[in-house]
Amino acid sequence: MKHPSNREFFAYWNDRRGHAKAPERSDIEPSAVRELLGDIFVLSCDADSGFPFRMAGTRLCALLGGDVKDKSFPAHFAAASRREIEEITTVVCEETLPAIAGVKALAPDGVMAHFELLLLPFAMRAHEPISLTGLLAPFEAPRGALGPLEMVSWRYIHPPAERMVPRALRKLAIARGLMVYEGLR
């Protein structure tokens, strides 16, 4: 991740999930990421409805040209990128796998604006609609509503194979019987 906002949001999400694949929606406290709320959104994991926005921050709405609640997320992408973002969003929802993407769009002043898009799943619970959260972080602040978003690059963020355990604890887990450590006080 290149953008500090995405690194901060991912670190918070990662902390809240603990050892699970993803945190529950109720585990995310908006006040903990107060400075990022303008760029954060929540999508419904409903491919048939076009992954509609359930909530979107004010800066994001301004970039996308107005209130986006209940509007399709992939519809804000250029036709050439739409199928790709639908597939990525589907994997984030169904596989509970975070994704990061480079995105660009033409600003009203004719300058190409660059963004980093972070998509983070929520844990699935019975009797609750499946959703995901994300953050669209601009590298430069464009003025006004953007043209269609275009995918530049993307990747999934795979969890580490095993949680990192300090070396001393790994040694103790392997050791059997009596151990003598010289030089420790």
User: Residue 36 is part of which domain span?
Assistant: 4-159
Residue 177: inside a domain? no
| 100 is a domain residue | yes
Does residue 73 sit within a domain?
yes
- pLDDT tens digits, 95-149: 999 999 999 999 988 999 999 999 999 998 766 778 999 999 999 888 889 999 9
Question: Residue 98 sits in a domain of what CATH number?
Answer: 3.30.450.20
Rg (CA), the chain: 20
pLDDT, residue 183, reads 64
Residue 104 maps to a domain = yes
pTM of the model: 0.84
Give the pLDDT confidence score for residue 171 in this predicted structure: 53
- Picking from 32, 45, 41, the residue whose alpha carbon sits closest to that of residue 130 is 45
Q: Is 118 within 8 Å of 12 (Cβ atoms)? A: no
In a domain, 175, yes or no: no
Count how many domains the chain has. 1
Give the residue-averaged pLDDT of 165-176.
Answer: 54
> Does some domain include residue 181?
no
Q: Which of 133, 68, 64 is nearest to 96 (CA)?
A: 133
Q: pLDDT at position 144, please?
A: 86
